[in-house]
Chains A and B, each alone.
Chain A
């Protein structure tokens, strides 16, 4: 795309935004007309919510057209035509119980030897993946194996502070004021590169320590190579929810709602503007007992793991359903609604049309601790349970939408489907053959 075309599209986008009421209608009309796969790049947003879902309040009763009539998925009603539910997925590689968080995006028990899917896709597309976290570990216990979801060579600690995420995702694309110090940064990084390389050369025969320095060296080289990110928008976005968060402690459980909203707001802007095409938002961590009585939350003052996800009785499972629904409600209200605007890089479609949002968890049913698909018995009734996996968005026309699809396959096939959906098809993950889920591929 030429620069002039790009600018034209930006102007079209801004005009549409300025028109306000006309934009959604324009998007809706264009959506009806456009079904072909777009050449515009597709954004991926992975939204992790721990401890599974109570299936009786989650699952569509049958395969076919999706309608958001379950307790948990009801907030997706305005986006029902863009939503898919995949029934039947189970964790790959014997990954079980809450420890399966390490397999959720890597595909393999304990994380295997590869990267998580966001990094694999980013590498294939020549882009950067970015991970944010809404209290993704216990401040009192530290970042540990209970928090491991995203793996970029090592387990990545998600960015806890939405302010920092906003800075990371937008600062690089903003023109610097005064003297441009980019060249000086490059020179300093070059000096560091030389030192790390020199230290590595001096460690003859010490393979493990040399490997450490090799990783360090590659990280410095990657920093040197990173330039200003793409920004399809003009000017810095304004963030009302980030402003509402202010300088509050982002690891304080009482601030969970504000932090989640601020992360979603920043993510939405980054997706619209294209500054971060591959994002992960990790909510909580496994066994997290975060109290859901926080301000602006679902108003259920119980811990997420013990008090809610372990519920067997009807009342407790209803409460857990309300809490899991809260995550979808915030996703829909803050992120999905924001994405329903013309794509500045492809104004004939919305950003949501050109995005793939994936909601996932590490277990199927919290009280059963199962990470597979199969029957569970709730109050004497049998339910078919599976990993609660939902996609939202048209993935640039690569996926069907508005469907409930049955696919009793390892979840690595879902990861492969995500990769296909954003234009980075994979035939294997971690050396294991994978297939896309047929019912989702358009």
Chain B
């Protein structure tokens, strides 16, 4: 069946799944209204000023660059995982706070790092002057050098004096090294280190970010670490105020190893492909052997589409290849491959693009069966930006698989479609998930389901229950979604939200770049780079 995309699809309104079913998060729950990431505006807007607490990864990367003599830090366990926000990303500025737990962990980290840096093993490298001239000037040089990297700007004289005086005070009661240690502890706990300032200064009707703030935004947004030498040099003369300069820097940073990792961070948060690692498939004993390979396969696929082919959302969803190692090729049934990352064409019925990746198919499935609901919801939430629905109360679990007697689709239709209360919500995503039914719980292709024929046809409804699109199978679904403006708008909106740490809830921050991505003029990588020329990158509301 060919795709039939209704013109209304792009204007598909949010489905509000309320009514007969009482569910949390609804009216009167007191929750803030969740932003619509697919929302488009006539022109780009700027968000509010923000203090963005560094993520655990950013904190560690910054310390490692500030005190490179220590090498890779043994303190990762001191800084715990950051909370994942509703949008799926662990870098939302409104949720990255310094409560009691984080403050404790930061203090522990600071003490561990400072103790190490001032130990006999590292002192001569970290602070060479300590051996010859252990005085205030020596401490001052440490504060200047480490502080510059930690604060992403030179310290003021007043700030410098604070740390030097703290060291001197401690030294009076102990020794030079201990004084240096506690000056470092104070630096490593400073709010000037902990937060990326995107506050700016009031200029006319809005706030202009300062040169060091812009440099930090570029660096952390594109590499997850503090500004490098080249970026720091551009602070002089306010060169980063020039959009062309910022764009060039963004492109440069995205090509670094840290830039690649940063791009994967977005894809992990957006698609959840890495969640397959935590799944269990008891009926397939060797599944646990290939979970990590599936993640690597998806990352090679993203690397190929986004970096090597400069692809956009359309290519991401419809690319007809993947990259396999021998173990995974055997698992899927591709046959022998050469090497550990051979690019192979997908057989005609084996799907295309990101949605056909084993990591996605197995990650969004049950332990012992596929899940049209989980897969459909993934598309519904992450590719159409529909609001996440909380499961209502007292919903019996769907019937157990009965291979050879009932197909998964039949079980879901019997439980969900046949029940008005269930179907009230499930009609919006189960029919999307049916398109994946040619893939089992482990992500492998199946032409039938234990001998029963598979019906992989599905549809997308709007809020008025009008059919906006119909498709048959995962390839058809992928092309339908790829051709739908809403999909690209959703992805571009979520990517901007991620890059800007939530942007204070403002979703229309990069409308020009989103247009370019939508028309295929640019790919995803260039889209991310062009976020650097959005007004929000250098300005904030007053």
Contacts and interface: CB of A to CB of B under 8 A. Distances in A.
A143 B394 contact: no
Contact of B80 (A98, A143, A312): A143
A127 interface: no
A97 B51 contact: no
B394 to A, nearest CB: 5
29 contacts: A94-B22, A95-B24, A96-B22, A96-B392, A96-B393, A96-B394, A97-B392, A98-B391, A140-B275, A141-B84, A141-B275, A144-B84, A153-B99, A181-B174, A181-B178, A183-B173, A184-B174, A184-B178, A188-B185, A191-B186, A208-B48, A215-B99, A216-B103, A219-B102, A289-B367, A303-B279, A306-B280, A369-B393, A369-B395
Given A112-B30, A157-B81, 5 more contacts: A97-B391, A139-B81, A156-B101, A184-B182, A302-B280
B133 interface: no
Nearest to B391: A97
Nearest to B26: A94
A164 B51 contact: no
Contacts of A371: 393
Interface in B277-301: 277-280, 282
A187 interface: yes
How extensive is the interface on chain B, given as a class?
35 or more
Chain A's interface: helix, strand, loop or mixed, by majority? Answer: mixed
A370 B199 contact: no
B102 A137 contact: no
Contacts of B366: 306
Contact of B400 (A138, A154, A313): A313
Q: Which of A112, A155, A189, A219 has the most CB of B within 10 A?
A: A219
A301 interface: yes
Contact of B367 (A99, A139, A194, A307): A307
A179 B391 contact: no
Given A94-B24, A196-B191, A302-B367, A212 B97 contact: yes
B393 A192 contact: no
Given A157-B101, A196-B191, A219-B103, A209 B391 contact: no
A191 B162 contact: yes
Given A142-B81, A142-B82, A110 B174 contact: no
Given A152-B99, A219-B103, A369-B394, A160 B80 contact: yes
Contacts of A220: 103, 189
Contacts of B98: 212, 215-216, 219
B90 to A, nearest CB: 5
A161 B101 CA distance: 14
Q: Which of B31, B186, B277, B391 has the most CB of A within 10 A?
A: B186
A292 B191 CA distance: 43
B484 to A, nearest CB: 27
B275 A370 contact: no
A216 B185 contact: no
B397 interface: yes
A109 B29 contact: yes
B100 A219 contact: yes
B77 A187 contact: no
A114 B203 CA distance: 39
Contacts of B395: 97, 369
B166 interface: yes
Chain B's interface: helix, strand, loop or mixed, by majority? Answer: loop
B403 interface: no
A144 B83 CA distance: 6
Interface in B391-447: 391-397, 399-400
How extensive is the interface on chain A, given as a class?
35 or more
A96 B84 CA distance: 21
Interface in B145-163: 162-163
B272 interface: yes
Interface of B: 22-25, 29-31, 48-51, 53, 77, 80-84, 86, 90, 94-95, 97-104, 107, 110-111, 162-163, 166, 169-170, 173-174, 178, 182, 185-186, 189-192, 194-195, 199, 272, 274-280, 282, 366-368, 390-397, 399-400, 504
A206 interface: yes
A289 B186 CA distance: 42
Instruction: Give 9 closest A-B pairs by Cβ, nearest first.
Output: A96-B393, A219-B103, A216-B98, A144-B84, A306-B367, A303-B280, A140-B277, A310-B397, A142-B84
Contacts of A291: 280, 282
Nearest to B111: A185
Contacts of A215: 97-99
Nearest to A153: B99
A368 interface: yes
B48 A137 contact: no
A39 interface: no
Nearest to B159: A195
Contacts of B103: 216, 219-220, 222-223
Contacts of A307: 280, 282, 367-368
Contact of A312 (B51, B185, B277, B397): B397
Nearest to B399: A312
A46 B506 CA distance: 40
Interface in A186-243: 187-189, 191-192, 194-196, 199, 203, 206, 208-209, 212-213, 215-216, 219-220, 222-223
B272 A188 contact: no
B80 A199 contact: no
B182 A187 contact: yes
A157 B96 CA distance: 13
Contact of B191 (A110, A153, A192, A316): A192
A140 to B, nearest CB: 4
A321 interface: no
Contacts of A184: 170, 173-174, 178, 182
B29 A179 contact: no
B99 A209 contact: no
A301 B51 CA distance: 46
Given A96-B23, A152-B101, A303-B280, A195 B81 contact: no
B22 to A, nearest CB: 7
Interface string A271-309: 000000000000000000111000000000111001100
Contacts of A216: 97-98, 103, 191, 194
Contacts of B272: 141
Contacts of B110: 188
Nearest to A196: B191
A56 B166 CA distance: 65
Contacts of A303: 279-280, 282, 367
Contacts of A95: 24
Contact of A206 (B49, B80, B191): B49
Given A109-B29, A187-B169, A369-B394, A152 B100 contact: yes
B172 to A, nearest CB: 11
A144 to B, nearest CB: 4
Q: Which of B30, B84, B280, B282 has the most CB of A within 10 A?
A: B280
